[in-house]
Amino acid sequence: MPASSSAARAAVSTLSVDEALERVLSRIAPLEATEVGLLDSLGAVLTEDASADRDVPPFRNSAMDGYAVRGADVQQGGVRLHVVGAVAAGSLPDRAVGQGEAMRIMTGAPMPDGADTVVRVEDTDNGSESVTINVAAPLGIAVRQAGEDLRAGDVVLARGTWLRHADIGVLASIGRAKVNVIRRPNVAVLSTGDELVDVGEQPGPGQIRDANRHALAAAVRASGCAAFELGIARDSASDLRHALGNAAFGDLVVTSGGVSVGDHDHVKPVVDAMGQMDFWSIALRPGRPLAFGELRTKRGAVPIFGLPGNPVSALVTFELFVRPALLKMAGRTKLHRPRVKARLLDRIDKPTGLRMFARGIHDDAAGTVRSTGPQGSGILRSMSLANCLIDLPEATTAAEPGDIVVVLLTDRPEDH
């Protein structure tokens, strides 16, 4: 090993996973608020209280296709009522309903004055001049009252809400074509390595396909952020510098590879020249080396993660460090995946002194978790098979079948 590598190794601080995450999060702040079109607010965090501009529904209307009647007239089956007209959704009743009368009404149509109950068409003979009510209807049934969903002036979504698709519907119903939210982080993703070719190319001798850039860009999107790809940088300082020059347009940069202490690992020195980068050895398997720092750009400091090149290490460190950072940037307050206990079905060996996140398949109903199989940091399929990470503490040497282990549910949204 060249002398420079031993020197680099000597300077490295070893951190626990929790310490590293704390350091990362302490250097990440939420982005600013911005106004976006309604649909673009999906997955973003609201920066204002959204209140109803009017009652929803705004008027009393029918919940059924049927006949609007006076409830007092239909307290028993077999009554016959005179049909005085019809009203469809989007139009207004042209008269009131009196005693002994009924108006045909469609779902969503405004209730005529005088009527307080709707008999559904299935409970009638569907008559047009007169109608026979076959079944007694409870007073007030099948009528939606004005404001029963939302009341004018009520805050229906509070500032800080993480907007899900149903919330977009609520915002639409209160007339919000534009919404103020935290801006969606835009993340630059870069692969490094002389051995890499892109997915559309045929690998030559000694070459492999670049899996990380695609997986990491996908992980960025799955975190609700936008990803832009910076391609593959070769293992040279100049190529890296050039690629990172374009990173300045992002809110955060994620690279993979080139952060070990090999002869061709240039990420740390290059970032140091363009800003500042810490190199950490994390008591973690997989994902021991991790670099974190910032690039100085005209727009200010841009956080940068240098993830390890091994595909599993890259994705596990993304999950443990980058994803919470992105969520914090996006204004989210819950940054941690659900953690549950489960009974382990297989033996998993691990090195003592390192916390291990083994790839697992969790069965919620059975309360069990099994290993995905081989756990090497190059076995990318282990990530693809997994729905969870099995969190094995530093101090243990192995986990045995029957052990109760803690599992991070990586398919579920953060709950704390």
Contacts with ligand AMP by CB under 6 A lie at 191, 193, 195-196, 208, 210-213, 256-258, 260, 262, 308-311
Rule CB under 5 A: say whether 257 interacts with Mg ion: yes
CB of 236 to ligand AMP, least distance (A): 13
> Please, which residue, 6 or 134, has the CB nearer to ligand AMP?
6
**Interaction partner, residue 61 (ligand AMP, Mg ion, none; CB < 5-8 Å by kind):** none
Per the listing, tokens 């089956």 go with 77
* Three-class secondary structure of residue 51 per DSSP: strand
CB proximity list for 275: less than 8 A, separation 6 or greater: 293, 294, 295, 296, 301, 302, 304
CB of 386 to Mg ion, least distance (A): 24
> Please, which residue, 161 or 191, has the CB nearer to ligand AMP?
191
> Please, which residue, 93 or 258, has the CB nearer to Mg ion?
258
**Interaction partner, residue 410 (Mg ion, ligand AMP, none; CB < 5-8 Å by kind):** none
Compose the 260-299 pattern: x for residues touching Mg ion by CB under 5 A, - for all others.
----------------------------------------
**Interaction partner, residue 250 (Mg ion, ligand AMP, none; CB < 5-8 Å by kind):** none
Per the listing, tokens 């006076």 go with 70
List 93, 110, 185, 193, residue binding Mg ion (CB under 5 A)? 193
Phi/psi for 306 (5° steps) reads: -105, 100
Got the DSSP string for 176-245? -SEEEEEPPPEEEEEEE-TTEE-TTSPP-TT-EE--HHHHHHHHHHHTT-EEEEEEEE-SSHHHHHHHHH
**Interaction partner, residue 196 (ligand AMP, Mg ion, none; CB < 5-8 Å by kind):** ligand AMP
CB of 193 to ligand AMP, least distance (A): 5
Q: Say if residues 334 and 414 touch (Cβ distance below 8 Å).
A: yes
What are 326's two structure tokens? 């992105």
What are 73's two structure tokens? 């007239």
Q: How far apart are CA 101 and CA 124, in angstroms?
A: 14
CB of 211 to ligand AMP, least distance (A): 4
3-state helix, strand, coil in the chain (%, to 5): 25, 35, 45
Residue nearest to ligand AMP according to CB distances in the complex: 309
Residues that bind Mg ion (CB under 5 A): 193, 257-258, 309
